[in-house]
Amino acid sequence: MKLLSFFQPNNIDEAKVLLSKYENSKLLAGGTDLLLDFKKDMNVPQYLIDLSKILELKSIVENESDITIGSMVTFTQVKGNKLIKDNFNSIILCAKSMGSPQIRNVATIGGNIINGAVAADIVPCVISLDGILVFESIDTLREVRCEDYFRNNSIEKIKGNEILTKIIIPKRPWLSGYYKLGKRNSLAIARANTALSLSIEENIIKDLRVCLGAVGKFPFRVNELESRAVGKIVEWLFDDEALNILENTVYESIKERKTMPFKRNAIKGVFKNALLSAVESGGNK
Amino acid sequence: MIEVTLKINGKMYTRKINPMLRLIDFIRDEIKLKGTKEGCGEGECGACTVIMNGKTVNSCLVLAASANGAEITTIEGLSNGDHLHPIQEAFIEVGAVQCGYCIPGMILSTKALLDENLDATEAQIKEGISGNLCRCTGYTKIVEGVKIAQKKIINSQEGD
């Protein structure tokens, strides 16, 4: 297909109008994935709508009960943001380990969620923090839990006339952590990653969210581990009983894949590192 | 075709371009500034690094159309007439340049890093240039070059 027109709307409303007007259009966020496709003559739309000039999509805002991240916020912005630092340790660790400085300077949170799929860096963080994705079109507004977006992806998937405008993450006094295993330190996409958040009182686990990435079609939560952990001491999460749940989960998820024998073992170390990063962050949530 | 205007090394350039044109092609083929190199063309090697609005980007992964209105610094924008930039001087002094292909990108990553944090530690320097691959030097001399550049810049500021 050949690109006929390029648009650079100045606000969300303009972008929505363009999307509804031009059927065969595509949204351009940071472009670090899409431009690679273009180079191979893949995914070239007739109309390209570049979101990079829309300031409304580039802010991180604190509300009473949540922090809202605009979809065009870059990984560099996230990495240096005090609100994120004070509330979501896992997101900071994820942003630091994502790509190179050059990639982080343009790659966006929204683009990573919509395009990244299997190995998206930020998705396990957003899922483990109970984040909500907000999609807008010219006449609709839809909020979907990030977890549901990927679990029911065939139904919830972004529609042709929609824009992911923001990600809402509830504030709560939980600890959170993240760890990624990549092939090469700075630029690798994740071979396996884990994000988690947990609530602890006097060393007893009150609540836990664990999300694994790159070990299935989409990142997913490990419900069995989460429910079994409640009421136990934090150290239990480092025991074989807990780690075996993870190993079995990964085995079941990718048993047909060649990488399974490696990943089902690797996930235990990845999980332990993510957990350590959460516990060590202490008051840093 | 669409019309774009970019400020490159302090000079305004307006051109009518194909909207699929990448920033690196705009810089090299439209403006004829050949210092910016293309390596992998996939955002992995950093040879095409330029500074856009104060931040480094891989110019192979940015559309020139998206950069409309932006301020770009390429390697040609660093020297002042015949006077090299302190980072360039430092790299030459320490022998941080071998084949030289990665150096424009490496120097621009260094500039962006030191503009933001002149006192960067060795770990921060390594992180700052982690998006730039060099297949000749083994990086040791490059990191030394950055440290010398830090001293040169600090000294010149104290001399002001």
- Mean pLDDT of all residues belonging to chain A: 93
CA distance A45 to A43: 6
Residues of A in contact with B127 (CB under 8 A): 101, 186
The per-residue pLDDT for range A46-75, each reduced to its tens digit, is 999 999 999 999 999 999 999 999 999 999
Residues B65 and B94 reside in one and the same domain: no
CA distance A111 to A107: 7
Residues of B in contact with A103 (CB under 8 A): 43, 58, 61, 131
What does the pLDDT average to over B24-38? 98
Structure-token pair, residue A105? 């300077």
Residues B60 and B101 reside in one and the same domain: no
Residues B99 and B144 reside in one and the same domain: yes
Residues B133 and B92 reside in one and the same domain: yes
The per-residue pLDDT for range A22-32, each reduced to its tens digit, is 999 999 999 99
The per-residue pLDDT for range A105-150, each reduced to its tens digit, is 999 999 999 986 566 889 999 999 999 999 999 999 999 999 999 9
Among residues B48, B77, B106, the one where a domain terminates is B77
Interchain contact, B130 vs A100, CB within 8 Å: yes
Which residues is A176 bridged to in the sheet?
A197
Radius of gyration of chain B (CA): 16
For residue A22, what are the contacts with CB-CB under 8 A and spacing of at least 6?
A5, A46, A47, A49
Optimal mutation site among A100, A108, A187, interface B, most CBs of chain B within 10 A: A100
Residues B7 and B72 reside in one and the same domain: yes
> What phi and psi, each to the nearest 5 degrees, are found at residue A204?
-100, 135
For residue A115, what are the contacts with CB-CB under 8 A and spacing of at least 6?
A29, A33, A34
Residues B57 and B109 reside in one and the same domain: no
> What phi and psi, each to the nearest 5 degrees, are found at residue A166?
-155, 165
B47: closest chain A residue by CA = A102
Which among A70, A53, A43, A42 has a CA at the least distance from the CA of A18?
A: A53
Domain count, chain B: 2
Query: What does chain A come to in residues?
Result: 285
Residues of B in contact with A5 (CB under 8 A): 19
What does the pLDDT average to over B19-32? 97
Interchain contact, B131 vs A31, CB within 8 Å: no
Interchain contact, B61 vs A36, CB within 8 Å: yes
pLDDT attached to residue A284: 46
Cα of B42 to nearest chain A Cα, Å:
6
- CATH of residue B44's domain is 3.10.20.30
A-B contacts (CB, under 8 Å): 77
CB B59 within 8 A of CB B23: yes
Which among A100, A31, A96, A105 has a CA at the least distance from the CA of B132?
A: A100
Cα of A278 to nearest chain B Cα, Å:
23
Residues of A in contact with B131 (CB under 8 A): 99-103, 186-187
Cα of B8 to nearest chain A Cα, Å:
18
pLDDT category at A263 given cuts 50, 70, 90 is very high
Interchain contact, A76 vs B112, CB within 8 Å: no
SS3 label, residue A265: helix
The per-residue pLDDT for range B111-155, each reduced to its tens digit, is 999 999 999 999 999 999 999 999 999 999 999 999 999 999 999
Residues B92 and B72 reside in one and the same domain: no
Residues B112 and B45 reside in one and the same domain: no
What does the pLDDT average to over A143-170? 96
Among residues B77, B108, B126, the one where a domain terminates is B77
Interchain contact, B62 vs A106, CB within 8 Å: yes
Check the CA dihedral A170-A175-A181-A184 and report its sign.
Answer: positive
pLDDT category at B160 given cuts 50, 70, 90 is low
Spell out the alpha helix ranges (H) of chain B: 23-25, 86-94, 103-116, 122-128, 140-159
Determine the distance from the C-alpha atom of residue A95 to the mean position of all C-alpha atoms in its chain, rounded to a whole number: 10
Residues B67 and B97 reside in one and the same domain: no
Interchain contact, B60 vs A50, CB within 8 Å: no
Residues B105 and B62 reside in one and the same domain: no
Check the CA dihedral A147-A153-A159-A160 and report its sign.
Answer: positive
Structure-token pair, residue A89? 């340790």
Interchain contact, A39 vs B62, CB within 8 Å: no
The pTM for the full model equals 0.95
ipTM, 2 dp: 0.96
Range of the domain at B95: 86-159
Residues of A with CB under 8 A from a CB of B: 3, 5-6, 8, 28, 31-32, 35-36, 38-39, 44, 48, 50, 52, 76, 99-103, 105-106, 185-187
- CATH of residue B124's domain is 1.10.150.120
For residue A104, what are the contacts with CB-CB under 8 A and spacing of at least 6?
A74, A75, A76, A79, A95, A98
The per-residue pLDDT for range B57-81, each reduced to its tens digit, is 999 999 999 999 999 999 999 999 8
Among residues B25, B60, B77, the one where a domain terminates is B77
Residues B66 and B97 reside in one and the same domain: no
Residues B109 and B68 reside in one and the same domain: no
Structure-token pair, residue B81? 């007439």
The per-residue pLDDT for range A76-98, each reduced to its tens digit, is 999 999 999 999 999 999 999 88
A179-193, A228-242, A268-282, B81-95: segment of lowest average pLDDT = A179-193
